[in-house]
Amino acid sequence: MTESAKSMDRIQLPYGLGSFDFAWEQDQFSVLINKSKTPVPLSDFEIGQALDTPISSKPLDELIKTDESVLFVVSDATRATASAQVINLLVRRLIQHGVSPGNIAIVFATGIHRQVTAQEKLELLSPFIVQRIRTIDHDAYDKSKLVAVGNTASGIAVEIARPLTEFSHVVLTGGVGFHYFAGFTGGRKSICPGLSSAKTIEQTHMLALDFEKGGRRTGVGIGLLDGNAVNEECERVAELVGPTFSVNTIVNELKQAVAIFCGDWRAAHRTACNDYLQSHAIEISERRNLVIVSCGGLPHDINLIQAHKALEMASHACNDGGSIILIAECRDGLGRPDFLKWFSEENSRALEHRLRDGYEVNGQTAWSLLSKTERYKVHLVSELPTDHVEQMRMSPARTLSDALEKVNASERGFIMPRGAAYLPRLSHMSHRDQWS
C-alpha cells in the first residue's frame, strides 16, 4: 500500500512562532492533550464578573481606598498569562473607582531571568497601559533595589524588591501551570522567586533536593502543594509581603485566558491549581519507548531552561532507555550565559555533590536535565549550537525529520503538542506516588 493510500493522522507541533508538520499512521501514536471542547476565551465582561465575586475576599475596589497606592505584579516574557487583558481591566477598574493613575505602578516578576525588553512590555501590558502607568524592573542581584523584611519560620532570610514595601497594596497577577518542583506556577511564585533576591531564591529552591539521601526531596514534584517544601517556603515568603489580592489565569494554546480565579492570594491560587490539575492531567495506561514533545512554542521554548519543563513532562510518559524528541526553538539561547558550566561534571550524581557545596538555582535545572539524559535518549530540535547540545548530553537536530532519522520511528509512542501544559499520569498509580 502506498503512503498516500494509508490512513494517516497529522498534527502541527509548535516551534517558536512557527511549527513542524508531522504525519503518522493511525494507531501508532497517541496524542496527549485534553480532547474535550476547547474553552472559549473569556470576555472582558466575564473577567469583570470574576472580579466582582472573588474567592475568600472582598472585591478589589472594596479593599482599596481612593487615596491609596497599588502595585500590580506581572510575570515576564517567559510566561503566558493573558496579562495585557487582565491588567487593562484592573487598571481601568481602579481608576473608575477613584484611584489616581499616578498611584498605580506595575513591577515585572523576573526573578533571576533577564529584564523585560521595551517590546515585551508592550506585548505584556499593551501600549495603552505602558504609555499611562509607571513600570518597574526588578533586579535580584542589585542590593540597592532590595530590602530585608525578616526571616521565615524556618529561618530563611528574606530579601524582596523594595517596591513591594512602598505601596499601600500589592496585587498579584499570573498564570497557573505545572512546575516540575514547585508544584504549580502562579500565586506565591510572583513574590518568590519573582521579586526576591538571588540569595533568597537559592535558599528556597535548594529545598527541592535531598542532599543526604540524594535526588528530589520527598513531597517535591509536579502538581504537589501540601508537603512540598519549596511551595511551602515560597508561601512563607509571600506571607511577609501580605498581598491584598490576586488574579490567576489559565490560558489556552493561543495564550488567551479561558479561566480566571480572583481573590485571596492563597485561596484563589489553590482553587486555580485544583482546576488546572483536573483539566490538564492525562491518564495513560503505560509508558512507551518514543515520545515526541513540543514545548508549545513561544514563550514556552524561549530558552533551554524553560524548555526543560516540557522534557520533564515527557519523561513521565517514556520508558527508561526510550527516546524523547524535544522540539524547542530556544531563540534566547540557554536562558543563562553560564548554564553550560554545570555540564563539566561526569554525571548527575557528581553534579549533585557540586550543588551541595555551591548551590545555584540553574544548577538544579542542569542536574534535572542531566538526570534525564542518563535515563533517556534525548534528541533536541532547536537553534542552539551543536556543541552546546552535545555538551548537555543530547543529540542535536535542526528539524523534526532529522531527529526522526535517529530513532526507531516505527515504535508506538506518544505525541505531546503542548508538552509544558499537560501531565501524563499512569492510571494505576496515585498522583502523589507517581510525582513525589
Residue where a domain terminates, one of 254, 278, 302: 278
Domain match, 204 and 331 both: no
Give the closest residue to 107 by CA, choosing from 127, 82, 124. 124
Residues 6+ apart with CB under 8 A from 231: 182, 183, 184, 188, 224, 225
Q: Is residue 37 part of a domain?
A: no
If asked whether residues 106 and 243 sit together in one domain, one would say: yes
Q: Show which of 220, 247, 278 is a domain's final residue.
A: 278
Q: What is the pLDDT along the chain (436 residues), one digit of tens a residue?
A: 344 556 789 999 999 999 999 999 988 999 999 877 678 999 999 999 999 999 999 999 999 999 999 999 999 999 999 999 999 999 999 999 999 999 999 999 999 999 999 999 999 999 999 999 999 999 999 999 999 999 999 899 999 999 999 999 999 999 999 999 999 999 999 999 999 999 999 999 999 999 988 899 999 999 999 999 999 999 999 999 999 999 999 999 999 999 999 999 999 999 999 999 999 999 999 999 999 999 999 999 999 999 999 999 999 999 999 999 999 999 999 999 899 999 999 999 999 999 999 999 999 999 999 999 999 999 999 999 999 999 999 999 999 999 999 999 889 999 999 999 999 999 866 555 554 4
Euclidean distance between CA atoms 266 and 102, whole angstroms: 28
48 and 19 together in one domain: no
For residue 299, say if its preceding peptide bond is cis, omega within 30 degrees of 0.
yes
pLDDT tens across 366-380, in order?
999 999 999 999 999
Q: Is 117 in the same domain as 19? A: no
Residue 218: C-alpha distances to residues 146, 431, 432, 434 (Å): 32, 14, 10, 12
Same domain, 84 and 135: yes
Whether residue 229 is found in the same domain as residue 292: no
- What count of other Cβ atoms lies within 10 Å of the Cβ of residue 45? 8
Range of the domain at 332: 3-31+285-435
Quote the pTM value. Answer: 0.91
pLDDT tens-place string over residues 289-340? 999 999 999 999 999 999 999 999 999 999 999 999 999 999 999 999 899 9
Interior/surface letters 352-363, b for 16+ CB within 10 angstroms, e for the rest: bebbeeeebbbb
Contact, 302 vs 331, CB < 8 A? yes
- Do 157 and 222 have their domain in common? yes
Is residue 39 a part of any domain in this protein? no
Indicate which CATH number applies to the domain containing 249: 3.40.50.11440
Q: Which of 229, 263, 278 is the last residue of a domain?
A: 278
| 238 and 367 fall within a common domain | no
Query: From CA 276, how far away is CA 270, in angstroms rounded?
Result: 10
Query: What CATH number corresponds to the domain at position 380?
Result: 3.90.226.30
C-alpha cell at 356: 551541595
Name the helix (H) or strand (E) containing 274: helix 265-280
Give me the number of domains the chain comprises. Answer: 2
Nearest by Cα to 13 from 421, 417, 420: 417
CB-CB neighbours of 412 under 10 Å:
12
Q: Are residues 346 and 256 in the same domain?
A: no
Q: How far, in Å, CA of 204 to CA of 241, rounded?
A: 16
In a shared domain, residues 54 and 119 = yes
In a domain, residue 259? The reply is yes
Q: Is residue 38 part of a domain?
A: no
Based on the domain organization, do 326 and 395 belong to the same domain? yes
255 and 354 fall within a common domain = no
